[in-house]
Amino acid sequence: MKKLLIVMISLALAGSVSAQRIGGHGFYGAPRVVVTGGYYPYYGLGFGFGPFYPYPYGYGYGYNRPSKMTMQIEDIKNDYKDKIWSAKHDTSLTRKERRMKVHELKVERDNAIADLKRNYYKQ
């Protein structure tokens, strides 16, 4: 019974691995098969940690916090994005006036970002 269970699990594992073929062919026209799961250096073995990595591969490299200037630029972009959307959907203006308003807002946005970058280090 135990041997039968091991054989069935082995066949299921072999079938699932062979189904993970990537498009194209590898060396000498043989299909390429990729076994997924695990992290370096134990790809495919199910281990999440390597002997030289205290965290799972791809994690634990610190948090990259954006600078204050980057956050201010994103705020300006978001504000003008809302203004541009409102101008595009303002039915009280003609189409030509809407396009001109959107163009003016984009120029204002670009100038505001340029001013921020220019004056950021003077603070």
pLDDT in tens, 23-66: 444 445 555 555 544 444 544 444 444 454 444 444 545 567 78
Mean of the per-residue pLDDT values of the chain: 75
* Better pLDDT: 36 or 3: 3
pTM, two decimals, is 0.49
Domain residue ranges in the chain: 33-63, 68-122
Tokens representing 59 are 């994690």
* Better pLDDT: 32 or 12: 12
CB of 55 closer than 8 Å to CB of 49: yes
Tokens representing 29 are 């026209």
